[in-house]
Amino acid sequence: MKTLTTRIIAGKYKGKTLELPPLDTTRSSKSILKESFFNVIQYDIIDTVFVEAFGGSGSVGLEALSRGASHVYFSEIDRRSYKVLRRNCDTVDAQNCTTMMGDSFEIIPKLINTTIASSTKPVVVYIDPPFDFRDGMDDIYQDTYKMVESFENENIFMIVFEHKSELTLPETIGKYKQYKTKKFGNSSLSYFS
């Protein structure tokens, strides 16, 4: 079986090949969507702490690292995807990546409210829940909203949801307000601050 790959689009690791997990375990962010996201936040990403919930291959977080984020945290529950994520971090810059295997709904609030709560750097959180793939994912969006509502610290600069285009996200989630949504076919990005 052929290994699926993608590449880092820009920055200091431009062109590095990243492995993608098998399609039955995860759905990779589209290149056009990823490129648009980084065009929107290109200067704001520099020297931030970047958190990718539901990390999959880590392609979004590793792109953030390539473009100037100082450190990236990933969480991923699927064992096969996690192994791919680890290999990709080792290929790009293992020193500035922290990978955590387990349930993002448990790991991410703990990480945000403790480990990086005292960070002096702004924090960007990227949430791309596996909406099409895994059993028991019917409440995935409600669960992600609850997760965001639990974020207590003041240093979160931006939260971005990658989601199905047919879904309209709430205007406000916890203390974060939506300020923009951009559509890319079946997937959309919604920005909160």
**Which CATH number do you get for residue 154?**
3.40.50.150
Residue 163 to residues 89, 142, 153, 182, Cα–Cα distance (Å): 24, 12, 24, 10
Instruction: Give the pLDDT score at 27.
Output: 52
Structural domain range at position 176: 5-192
- The tokens for 55 are 């990390």
The 10s digit of each residue's pLDDT in 30-87 is 788 999 999 999 899 999 999 999 999 999 999 999 999 999 999 999 999 999 999 9
Residue 1 has pLDDT above 60, yes or no: yes
The 10s digit of each residue's pLDDT in 93-146 is 999 999 999 999 999 999 999 999 999 999 999 999 986 544 555 588 999 999
Residue 149 to residues 72, 144, 187, Cα–Cα distance (Å): 21, 9, 23
- The tokens for 110 are 């703990």
Instruction: Give the pLDDT score at 133.
Output: 47
Q: Rounded to an integer, what distance in angstroms lies between the CA atom of residue 175 and that of residue 117?
A: 16
pTM value? 0.93
Overall domain count for the chain: 1
